[in-house]
Amino acid sequence: MDKQKKAKKPRNAWTSKTTQKTNLHSFFPPSTPHKTDKDSSTMTSRTVFQPQTTQAQDPSVSTRKREEDEDQMMSSPLPPPKRQAAISATVTSGALQLLHGQAASPLGALPVEESLEAEEITPHPKWGQLSVHPHQQQPRVDLLEFYESVRLNVRLRDDIRLSILKKEAEWGVNEAGPKFTPTKLNKRGAPTIGYYFDEGGRRCNAASYSAQHMKVNVLHPPKYKPDFADRNKASQQAQRDKAPDLEVVYIGAVSDYSVQEIREKYVWSPAMGPIPVDGRSAGAVFYAGMHQGHQLGYLGIREDHTRDKTSLLYQNSIGAAANPKNMLQIMYRMCDSRDTKELVEAFIMRYQYKSNNKYGIQEHFITKVRSLKQYPGLQSKADQYAADGIPLIAIDSNWDRSQQSKYWTLDELTTLPLKVGPSEVVKIWDATTRSQVYKFPRVKNAAELLQQFPNPPDSFFKGKPKLEAECRAVQN
């Protein structure tokens, strides 16, 4: 555990004697729409169900029947859906396009040749002309007026409405930001309050900043160039072709806790004994998943949790209408094979389901994964860990960082608790600033794979003849 100043130490999240009963129906949505895990290989269909609290079982129901029902809940009955082609888009802010010298047009913008419509644009008395396309003028005025209204009264903040206005204005749709502050930031000059943008260390009022760059686009409208779009598409395809298929299993979380609080609260050793029934907490809710790098060699939790509206992590952080939580990455591991990755996820999910039921709280999100029906040993192992009160993870201050570069086996990843290094816990999205604060690392090609994860076993290359040939060529 990281050394701390001598101060009042927060109680361990698992050993607290006070039962922390959270109103789960307000903390989490009562029902969640069907979610398709966008893994590029297995395409596991995930559908959420609510964990059951421990209740007396009807003696007429056999143990075998209960196990079959549980197994049915844990495995997906749906066929793998067809993967849609990934949609890529450049940043839509006209300001950023000009800064980077890009020729791409804003989202929804028409070619300049097609924008010379008969309808004339009447400049706004305050904001002036904001677009060369008549259909964008009024929506952009509405966006600026909304920014201005929040500047004058921060209680009018409404991020959902802001998202809608940005789409209607076809401005900044794929940008991060703007940020928000309920108090004045600038000590000198015009005060910055409400929505604002960071530019070169300066904090700029969102309304005036956006209006300025909208007008720049009017003076220098971006031209539509089909050849640029073709080159961009070809470049992205080349990146996908070079990126290796990975076998990543991970644990994420949503929580009000800071990274340091997670590091302090989730510490456990065998000497501490089983976690008591009243020692569980919903202070952090964990999510186990897997992916294959999302065609671009991403490491960590699934990188699209920050924008996938069907994701439980998204829904309880970025997409939460009230009381959003921080989105955290607890750990990820590179598995030695695709089977290991899928079975580890199923094993963890089985444990999480049993643990939720035993302790009567939702400490783990439950989704549908691969069935363990043909692996009774793994199933009973997960059940036993939950029954014995062994936690899923334990922060280990003596963690060896070199362990993160190895290929993990099934036995290693189904032995609980999973040891996690303090430095592995990172914040992905900050609920206070409402911004993404982490950039997902990538393995771009076979050479980088061998550099970060040397000596892959033969099992890792099963079904990947192209990657195996590339790695052998690099090694030779």
* DSSP for 264-309, written as a single string: HHS---GGG-SPPGGG---SEEEEEEEES-TTTTB-SS-GGGGT-T
Which has the minimum average pLDDT: 70-79, 411-420, 463-472? 70-79
- pTM of the predicted model as reported, rounded to 2 decimal places: 0.59
Number of residues that this document lists for the chain: 476
The tokens 């939702």 sit on which residue?
362
Is 19 part of any domain?
A: no
Given a cut of 70, whether residue 114 has pLDDT beyond it is no
* Containing structural domain, residue 135: 94-226
For the chain, what is the domain count?
A: 2
Domain match, 268 and 134 both: no
Helix (H/G/I), strand (E/B), else coil: 327: strand
Is 457 part of any domain?
A: no
72-90 CB burial, b ≥16 within 10 A, e <16: eebbbeeeeeeeeeeeeeb
Which has the minimum average pLDDT: 87-101, 225-239, 344-358? 87-101
- Widest CA span in the chain: 79
Domain match, 179 and 270 both: no
Is 3 part of any domain?
A: no
- Which pLDDT band holds residue 65 (cuts at 50, 70, 90)? low
Is 7 part of any domain?
A: no
Domain match, 121 and 253 both: no
Which has the minimum average pLDDT: 82-96, 286-300, 329-343, 452-466? 82-96
Which has the minimum average pLDDT: 90-94, 128-132, 284-288? 90-94
What angle in degrees, to the nearest 10, is found between the helix axes of 159-169 and 134-152? Answer: 160
Is 372 part of any domain?
A: yes
Domain-ending residue, one of 226, 256, 274: 226
Position 281 scores a pLDDT of 73
Position 83 scores a pLDDT of 44
Is 59 part of any domain?
A: yes
Q: What is the pLDDT of the chain when averaged over all its residues?
A: 79
Domain match, 147 and 65 both: no
Q: Which residues share a beta bridge with 197?
A: 204
Q: How many CB atoms lie within 10 A of CB 329?
A: 22
Domain-ending residue, one of 226, 259, 282: 226
Contacts 24+ apart (CB under 8 A), 177-182: 177/435, 178/147, 178/206, 179/433, 179/434, 179/435, 180/433, 180/434, 182/154, 182/157
Domain match, 103 and 55 both: no
The predicted-structure confidence for 219-253, as pLDDT tens digits, reads as follows: 887 665 666 667 777 877 888 889 999 999 999 99
DSSP state of 310: T
Mean pLDDT of 437-463: 95
Is 469 part of any domain?
A: no
Domain match, 175 and 44 both: no
Is 369 part of any domain?
A: yes
